[in-house]
Amino acid sequence: MELQFLGTGAGVPAKHRNVSSIALKLLDERNAVWLFDCGEGTQLQILKSTIRPRKIEKIFITHLHGDHIFGLPGLLSSRSFQGGNEKLEIYGPVGIAEFIRTALKVSQTRLSYELKFIEIKEGVVFSDKQFTVSCKPLDHGIASFGYRIVEADHEGELQVDKLAVLNIPSGPIYGKIKRGESVELPDGQVINGKDFVGEKKLGRTVTILGDTRKTPNSVALAENATVLVHESTFNKDEAKMAKAYYHSTSHQAAQVALEAKVEKLILTHISARYLTGDIIQLENEAKEIFPNTKVVKDMEIIEIPFKAE
């Protein structure tokens, strides 16, 4: 499981930062990619990566400001040209379906695959045996949501090498052992299946927030998360401006991470006015409150480790 930051800028594209888009790469888990927001130029960023548009299974939109959605019509169209035939689900606030349908209709774009729209409200928006995705509203002056992605625990792996030492052939007996049952071998020996199954790995939790002021819902969404992705549009001295524009400062993002007891904080949605020295300052400001903080740049990949039990 990896996060790749296709765009980490705020508002408008800049030479060194494109606007918002994050890919949650689940290639080992389900051979798919989930996209969070799709600002202008996202498909160009994808061309610089190893992501294949046909692997994009779901797109989650946090809110309908242009720097988070203007890349959608182009990406959806290109996905057809690049062999994407599988259904694509798009989650987002009320209005996302109208925006996309209007753009496709006016441009007379026909897709080679089915689009399914899920216009969200607070609660669980997707769930299967592997993942549960829930959302809560944030505070941005427009309907803006944060998403919490929770992975199911991974059962321990069958330790085949240890079974081979006992000359136990593969077959239905492996299933019993994997379930932790006691099994009698042909020579009369009884083994405990639990002795041949590795430790369970706790599922990971990723929280990706849309643009927002500091709000209790941010903390609730991020509770005990493995990784929290939070906007940091302003530095710590610009709290008044952040409030006026419904955004967060570096300190406010760090306070959310601290209160939620997350493992790692990732700062993104960085204003174009901040250059290299300013970025270091933003990161250091957040580290004053939450040391395990990183400001990401475009195309950067962050691996999401399993949580320790």
63 is in an annotated binding site: yes
Any domain includes 309: no
Give pLDDT, residue 44. Answer: 96
Same domain, 130 and 209: yes
Of the two residues 167 and 133, the one the predictor is more confident about is 133
Task: Please identify which of the residues 28, 37, 67, 139 carries the catalytic annotation.
Answer: 67
140 is in an annotated binding site: yes
153 is in an annotated binding site: no
Of the two residues 182 and 186, the one the predictor is more confident about is 182
Percent of the chain with pLDDT over 70: 99
> What tens digit of pLDDT does each residue of 97-115 get?
999 999 999 999 999 999 9
Look up residue 89 and give its two tokens: 């689900």
Same domain, 129 and 225: yes
CA-closest candidate to residue 61, choices 17, 119, 141: 119
Same domain, 188 and 215: no
CA distances from 88 to 8, 56, 75, 170 (A): 24, 7, 12, 39
CB 197 within 8 A of CB 158: yes
Q: What CATH number is attached to the domain comprising 261?
A: 3.60.15.10
pTM for the predicted model, two decimal places: 0.89
Give pLDDT, residue 121. Answer: 95
Q: Which of 53-57, 123-127, 185-189 has the highest mean pLDDT?
A: 123-127
230 is in an annotated binding site: no
Give residue 169's domain range. Answer: 160-195
Q: How many domains in the chain?
A: 2
> The tokens 């797109």 sit on which residue?
59
Tell me the mean pLDDT in the region 7-18. 93
Q: Does the pLDDT at position 309 exceed 70?
A: no
> In the predicted model, what is the mean pLDDT of the chain?
92
67 is in an annotated binding site: yes
CB 246 within 8 A of CB 141: yes
Q: Does the pLDDT at position 304 exceed 70?
A: yes
278 is in an annotated binding site: no
The 3-state DSSP class for residue 106 equals: helix
Same domain, 185 and 299: no
Any domain includes 226: yes
67 is catalytic: yes
- Name the band, by pLDDT with cuts 50, 70 and 90, for residue 234: very high
